[in-house]
Amino acid sequence: GAGVSQSPRYKVAKRGQDVALRCDPISGHVSLFWYQQALGQGPEFLTYFQNEAQLDKSGLPSDRFFAERPEGSVSTLKIQRTQQEDSAVYLCASSLGYRVDQPQHFGDGTRLSIL
């Protein structure tokens, strides 16, 4: 596709439910990043993939958060037993190269609301 695509755009879930957020990066992009953005704040790093390898997951806030990119393209961020503090916009970004400090291309995010 022309850009990074994320689905769904909006997700409402009840506290305790599991959710799965999908990211389709730009074709051929090696690096893929997940960020969490609270209202009025900048994006906060969650995790980073280089192809199918998850090289950095130190930003995941708890073991309820899990991300995968099994074939090195599409990625899924899963949140188990959701809590109200998980409400945020989840952004996915991809970049062509291997360095984390290269320009990143962002999707429009998934706005997650936990009731």
**Binding interface with other proteins (CB under 8 A):** 4, 33, 35, 40-45, 48, 55-56, 58-59, 91, 93, 100-101, 103-109
Whether the ω angle into residue 8 lies within 30 degrees of 0, i.e. cis, is: yes
Q: What is the DSSP letter of 84?
A: G
Polymer length in residues for the chain: 115
- Provide, rounded to whole angstroms, the least separation between the CB of residue 62 and other proteins: 16
- Provide, rounded to whole angstroms, the least separation between the CB of residue 114 and other proteins: 19
- Provide, rounded to whole angstroms, the least separation between the CB of residue 81 and other proteins: 25
Q: Rounded to whole angstroms, how far apart are CA atoms 63 and 71?
A: 23
Q: Rounded to whole angstroms, how far apart are CA atoms 46 and 57?
A: 6
Nearer to other proteins among residue 70 and residue 103 (C-beta): 103
Nearer to other proteins among residue 16 and residue 62 (C-beta): 62
Reduced to 3 states (helix: H, G, I; strand: E, B; else coil), residue 39 is: coil
